Every structure is written in structure tokens, then in C-alpha cells.
């Protein structure tokens, strides 16, 4: 993973177990889905990088907090920011609908923290890229590599266990689906086939 979005996705991947990472990925997909359904009044903050941290902070607050229920609430906080971000009273309904949709996602605390982190950098536009990078990491981790082990004679269960234990380093994945078959033409050892590659190996002791 390269770039800031890749670094952030990689950190989420390293610091969480598979189930938690999957939930965070689902959160990212959900939030980006909500933003994608919004008008440009809202989505522009997630597609361009020319917004200040102060502006992005208010955007995240509008989408995740219950502090602002009316346009006047935003005006009372900061009139200039209200005009830049919300624009007018009639636009407020869109922000409230988006906030309701995001609340329904029941996002993880780490996802909420990520939104705050991106806002503090003025980089809410990275959220979509982080989702893409996180999805790539998830798919790579979840990939199951089919492996076929051929031998001239049937292998014992102990031999199968020992062979299976070393196969992940050849497959490049801890997730492997191993099938053993007897192939009389395989003489003097094993023929291991994975990802369209074939590897020969000595037969382990029985």
C-alpha cells in the first residue's frame, strides 16, 4: 500500500483482528455510500482537498453529532462557516438526512476516530481511497489458494499434516485449500501445484 491512504489502511489492518477490520471496512463502505448519495453541498468535502481542518471538523460534526439540528444552530456556532458549509436553511435537511443514515450504520469507534483524524488534517477526500486500500488488504488476506499435492503412493495422515504446515510459505497466503491425490506418474517425490505453478519436493518420511 502506497501513499497516505495506503498507510492509514495498513495501520487499521495491522492493529485489528480480521473481524474488527471487516467491520471497519463495512463502515467505510457505508459512509462512502451515504456521501455518494448526497448532493454536492455535502459530497464536495469528500472529493476535493481544498478545505481547511476547521471546515472539515464542522462537516464531521454535522454528520455524526446531534449538536446542530437547525441552520441557526450552525450560524450560532460560526456564521462564516455556516455559509460556506451549509449555505442556507433549505440545505440543512440534506445534512440531517445524511446524519440519520450514518447513525443507522452504527459505526465502530475506530471509524469515528478516523473521520476525526481526516478532518483534523483537512483531508476528508481520502476516505474513498482508504476504503479502496482497505478492501484490497481484506481481499488479499481472505484469498484462498487452491493447492494440489500429487504423490505416487497414498500419504499417511502425519505426512499430510507436515506437508500442509509448510505450504503457506509457497502459496503466499495462510489460507490454503489442500487436496491430496495419488498419481502413479509422480515418481520419487511430490508434485505440488498452486496458482498455475508446479513445484517438486522430496517425499517426507512416513
In this predicted model, which residue has the larger pLDDT, 60 or 202? 60
Predicted pLDDT of residue 206: 65
Beta carbons of 199 and 170 less than 8 angstroms apart? yes
pLDDT digits (tens, 9 = 90+) for 157-204: 888 988 988 888 777 777 788 889 998 888 778 888 886 688 887 777
Rounded CA-CA distance 180/6 in Å is: 38
The answer on 65 and 19 residing in a single domain is: yes
Q: Whole-model pTM above 0.75? A: no
Predicted pLDDT of residue 146: 83
The answer on 194 and 132 residing in a single domain is: no
Which three cell numbers, joined as nine digits, stand for 163? 506437508
Domain coverage including residue 164 = 143-202
Domain final position from 140, 170, 188: 140
Domain final position from 140, 159, 178: 140
The answer on 109 and 69 residing in a single domain is: yes
The answer on 55 and 134 residing in a single domain is: yes
The answer on 22 and 58 residing in a single domain is: yes
The answer on 18 and 95 residing in a single domain is: yes
Helix extents (H) in the chain: 3-14, 18-36, 40-43, 53-64, 71-77, 79-85, 92-105, 109-121, 127-142, 157-171
Domain final position from 98, 125, 140: 140
The answer on 149 and 90 residing in a single domain is: no
The answer on 23 and 106 residing in a single domain is: yes
Rounded CA-CA distance 206/188 in Å is: 13
Amino acid at each position: 500500500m502506497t501513499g497516505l491512504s495506503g498507510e492509514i489502511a495498513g495501520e487499521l489492518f495491522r492493529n485489528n483482528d480480521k473481524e474488527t477490520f471487516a467491520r471497519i471496512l463495512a463502515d467505510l463502505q457505508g459512509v462512502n455510500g451515504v456521501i455518494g448519495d448526497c448532493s454536492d453541498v455535502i459530497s464536495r468535502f469528500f472529493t476535493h482537498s481544498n478545505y481547511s481542518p476547521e471546515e472539515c471538523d464542522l462537516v464531521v460534526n454535522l454528520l455524526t453529532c446531534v449538536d446542530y439540528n437547525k441552520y441557526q444552530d450552525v450560524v450560532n456556532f460560526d456564521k462564516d462557516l455556516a455559509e460556506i458549509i451549509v449555505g442556507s436553511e433549505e440545505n440543512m435537511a440534506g445534512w440531517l438526512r445524511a446524519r440519520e443514515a450514518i447513525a443507522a450504520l452504527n459505526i465502530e469507534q475506530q471509524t469515528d476516530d478516523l473521520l476525526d483524524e481526516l478532518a483534523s488534517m483537512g483531508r476528508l477526500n481520502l476516505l474513498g481511497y482508504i476504503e479502496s486500500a482497505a478492501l484490497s488488504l481484506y481481499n488479499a488476506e481472505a484469498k484462498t489458494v487452491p493447492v494440489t499435492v500429487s504423490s505416487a503412493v497414498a500419504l499417511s495422515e502425519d505426512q499430510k499434516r507436515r506437508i500442509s504446515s509448510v505450504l503457506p510459505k509457497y502459496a503466499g497466503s495462510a489460507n490454503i485449500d489442500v487436496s491430496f491425490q495419488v498419481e502413479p506418474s509422480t515418481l520419487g517425490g511430490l508434485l505440488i501445484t498452486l496458482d498455475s505453478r508446479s513445484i517438486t519436493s522430496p517425499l517426507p518420511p512416513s
